[in-house]
Amino acid sequence: MTTTGTRPRAALPAAVRVVDAVKVYGRDDTEVRALDGVSVDFPVGRFTAVMGPSGSGKSTLMHCAAGLDTLSSGAALLGDTDLSTLDDRRLTLLRRDRIGFVFQAFNLLPTLTVAENITLPLDLAGRTVDRARFDRLVDTVGLRDRLHHRPSELSGGQQQRVAVARAFAGEPDVVFADEPTGNLDSRSGEEVLSLLGRTVRETGRTVVMVTHDPVAAAHADEVIFLADGRLVDRMPDPTADRVLDRMKAFDSRAPVTTGGATP
Ligand SMILES: Nc1ncnc2c1ncn2[C@@H]1O[C@H](COP(=O)(O)OP(=O)(O)OP(=O)(O)O)[C@@H](O)[C@H]1O
Ligand SMILES: [Mg+2]
């Protein structure tokens, strides 16, 4: 699907890595092991989808890998930086400068224009906006004629494209997206997914996307599957049909094959 598709995973450096990740919420009889020993790499320049049943730990994995939450044990690394070594202030700066986020709810600021929303992270960081790069980004997301509109004047798909542009504006090491198409009809969803895929291929950025939708997951270079807080399978070069078949195995409570889980 991509030029890197045939390269062995091991040859690609990791943009993000989690090692033996355990996350426990609550204690004693209310204890939930949301992550139960997950180790996985998200390679540089690749688009990875994270799938699994509701409650399997997808959002928890994403939040811990992105420094929005902390692990109970194990490690989360962005490049060479072990997030657990950072205090709150440095973690906030790392999130601001090196990570982009796209959420299901678009999270745009209603009083700002499209252009202002896109450059907000850069403005907050006191970074200058490179005009040529901003123009390229605006053209990639197809919002040239909407730059001075407010988010409320845009369709859901357009709003999410603004959120995608904002996520990539600061040239982050990685963009995390949690169900970015969850609130969109299939056509707008398709536009946002092609946009994510195109941005990965054209700019070599790294994207990690949580999704329930096999069609969305098929846009990725690889899908990893979680169940009960564990990594249970991975699928390179996914198609929607194969992902759907794999998901059905969870629904029917069929035994989980772990054959693909070990690198
Ligand atoms: N803040 C929290 N306090 C207690 N338990 C939590 C908390 N956040 C998540 N959990 C629990 O951890 C487990 C994993 O949750 P998580 O949100 O990561 O699942 P998910 O795979 O993203 O599910 P979904 O597909 O429904 O979004 C669930 O059992 C959930 O109830
Ligand atoms: Mg979730």
Q: Which residues line ligand 1 (CB under 6 A)?
A: 25-26, 32, 34, 52, 54-60
**Angle, CA of 24, 25 and 29, to the nearest 5°:** 100
pLDDT at 260 over 70: no
Ligand 1 pocket: which of 32, 33, 211, 247 to mutate (most atoms <8 Å of CB)?
Answer: 32
| Exposure string over 21-31, b if 16+ CB within 10 A, otherwise e | bbbeeeeeeee
Digit-coded pLDDT (tens) for 226-258: 999 999 999 999 999 999 999 988 766 545 555
pLDDT at 48 over 70: yes
pLDDT at 263 over 70: no
CA of 210 to the centre of ligand 2 (A): 7
Determine the average pLDDT of the residues in 206-210: 97
Q: What H or E segment, with its residue span, contains residue 71? A: none
- The yes/no answer on whether domain 46-53+86-252 falls in CATH 3.40.50.20 is no
- On average, the pLDDT of the chain sits at 90
Percent of the chain with pLDDT over 70: 91
Alpha carbon distance 109, 236 (integer Å): 37
Contact 207, 196 (CB under 8 A): yes
**Angle, CA of 254, 64 and 195, to the nearest 5°:** 80
Report every protein residue that has its C-beta within 5 angstroms of ion ligand 2: 59
Quote the pTM value: 0.90
Determine the average pLDDT of the residues in 149-171: 93
Contact 213, 201 (CB under 8 A): no
